[in-house]
Structures are given as C-alpha cells and as structure tokens.
C-alpha cells in the first residue's frame, strides 16, 4: 500500500503544480468562504483512480465525493487539496493528505506539499519521516516559550467551543500563534518540531487522517479538548509535543 500511497500523492501533486496560478473554476460550498476548485476535483479523481487500480475493493472516504464503500477493512481517507483557499489565492501553503485506516485504526499516512517538495510520511510502529529523514516533536516544556498554530471554522456561528475566545486568551498570555490555513501542514509542522502545539475545532477526518499518524509516530500527543483520546471522527483536536499538553488544555478549558 505504501507504493500506491506515494504514487497517488505525487501524481496528484503534479496536477496542483501544473495549474498553480492558472485560471480555474472556483465554487463555494456551505458558506461563501468554504471553497472547492476544479483542481480539487481533478486531484481527487487522480488519487481515487490510482487507488482503484491497485486496490479496487478498498473503501474510500474523500472530501468531495464522500464515501465509496466496498465492504472492506481498509479505508483510504483523502483530502485532495488541504488549504484550498491558499491554493485559490496562489499561496503555496497547501498539500495532499491521505491516511489509510484498517479496522478502525490509522496505519499509514502521507502529507505532501508539491511546492516545497516536503513529504511527511508515517507507518504504524515505524516512526515518522520528512523526506526520508526521521522527525520528532520539539522538546519545549513551557507553553509560555512555545509557538502554537491554529485555524478557525469557516462559519462564525460554528463556535461551540469558543475558538475565538481561546485564541484571544492565548494571545493575551503573550504566547505567539500562527495560522497557515492547512490543518494537515499544521499537524506535520508540529510533528517535526517547528510548532510546539496545534489545536482546532470542526475539522473532518480527511483534514487530519494523514497528519494524525505522522504526529503520533513522531512522539506527539493528541487528545480532544477534554483531554480524552483523540477521535478521528470527532470535531476537536489538540496535538502537542506532549510536554506542554496539559498547559494548553488548561488554557482551552479556562475559557
């Protein structure tokens, strides 16, 4: 499956590069800022075609086409462009994210940014890599000295966990925060130690499936905002180096 995973990511990455800064159709989904482009759809089709060619009986869950169920124990979870708004505005902070779930457990994942050439990859029990070099989370143990990253829901009414209030709380504590616009890259950049922690609400499985296994295999910790085990199909994610996890949880829960 690893060869198919890499082939799907690289071939779809070519589509993103070929059409970058070009003219293509852009539509809005549920809200005006939640975009889908024709390049998302072309990238998605390429990925699914490659998977179907090698594993025709495997299940697929992808952002644009939804679920393709084949009654298999294996599911490919696909985001053909994570960071579509960035891509639509010719900002090269976007990626292809693919996770492979078997019997309810993510066993392999890839996050590929074709513009930077960075390929994050992990397999269950075998560690995580960036361009074939092993990566680990940071060693920072004080949240006050940390660099965090986050994102926000597309719709302002989807704020049950007071995401904006949490953001304000952390910023007012003089802790620097970045927003890249790609949850998959946020998780991977935390996995390789560029960031010390990432949190976000209202994500979907395809946003985090690839990055989840990479972060876990890099030695990071993932939970929901209550501190319970992370659920790929839940809506809350806190991913940190583990050392500052409880400190960030305390900030989130204090709002």
Q: How far apart are CA 208 and CA 187, in angstroms?
A: 8
Percent of the chain with pLDDT over 90: 82
Catalytic member of 79, 123, 140, 200: 79
Catalytic member of 123, 140, 186, 207: 207
What is the band of 63 on the pLDDT scale with cuts at 50, 70, 90?
A: confident
What is the band of 171 on the pLDDT scale with cuts at 50, 70, 90?
A: very high
User: Helix H segments across the chain?
Assistant: 2-19, 38-54, 84-88, 163-171, 183-191, 205-217, 245-253
Q: How far apart are CA 36 and CA 84, in angstroms?
A: 7
What fold is seen in the domain 143-253?
D-Maltodextrin-Binding Protein; domain 2 (3.40.190)
* pLDDT > 60? residue 136: yes
Catalytic member of 50, 81, 213, 214: 81
pLDDT at 23: 77
The dihedral sign for the CA sequence 161, 164, 165, 166: positive
Number of alpha helices (DSSP H) and beta strands (DSSP E) in the chain: 7, 15
Domain layout of the chain by residue ranges: 2-134, 143-253
- Is 71 catalytic? The answer is no
Over range 14-40, report the average pLDDT: 79
Please tell me the pTM assigned to this model.
Answer: 0.93
* pLDDT > 80? residue 247: yes
* pLDDT > 60? residue 158: no
Residue 138, Cβ density class (10 Å: 0-12 exposed, 13-18 middle, ≥19 buried): buried
- Is 168 catalytic? The answer is no
Q: How far apart are CA 87 and CA 106, in angstroms?
A: 27
* pLDDT > 60? residue 35: yes
pLDDT digits (tens, 9 = 90+) for 109-133: 999 999 999 999 999 999 999 999 9
- Is 54 catalytic? The answer is no
Do 96 and 7 contact (CB within 8 A), yes or no? no
pLDDT at 156: 61
CATH number of 2-134: 3.30.540.10
Q: What is the mean pLDDT of the chain?
A: 93
């Amino acid at each position: 499956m690893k060869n198919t995973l890499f082939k799907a990511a690289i071939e779809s990455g070519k589509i993103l590069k070929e059409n970058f800064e070009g003219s293509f159709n852009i539509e809005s989904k549920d809200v005006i800022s939640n975009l889908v482009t024709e390049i998302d759809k072309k990238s998605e089709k390429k990925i699914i075609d490659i998977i179907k060619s090698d594993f025709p009986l495997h299940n697929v869950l992808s952002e644009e086409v939804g679920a393709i169920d084949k009654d298999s124990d294996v599911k490919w979870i696909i985001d053909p462009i994570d960071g579509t708004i960035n891509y639509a505005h010719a900002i090269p902070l976007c990626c292809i994210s693919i996770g492979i779930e078997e019997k309810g457990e993510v066993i392999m994942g890839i996050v590929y940014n074709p513009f930077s050439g960075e390929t994050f990859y992990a397999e269950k029990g075998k560690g995580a890599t960036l361009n074939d070099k092993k990566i680990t989370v940071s060693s920072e143990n004080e949240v006050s000295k940390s660099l965090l990253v986050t994102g926000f829901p597309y719709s302002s009414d989807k704020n049950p966990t007071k995401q904006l209030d949490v953001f304000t709380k952390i910023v007012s504590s003089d802790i620097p925060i970045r927003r890249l616009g790609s949850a998959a890259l946020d998780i991977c950049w935390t996995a390789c130690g560029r960031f010390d922690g990432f949190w976000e609400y209202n994500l979907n499985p395809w946003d985090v499936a690839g990055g989840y296994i990479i972060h876990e295999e890099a030695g990071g910790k993932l939970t929901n905002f209550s501190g319970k085990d992370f659920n790929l199909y839940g809506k809350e994610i806190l991913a940190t180096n583990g050392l500052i996890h409880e400190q960030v949880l305390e900030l989130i829960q204090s709002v």
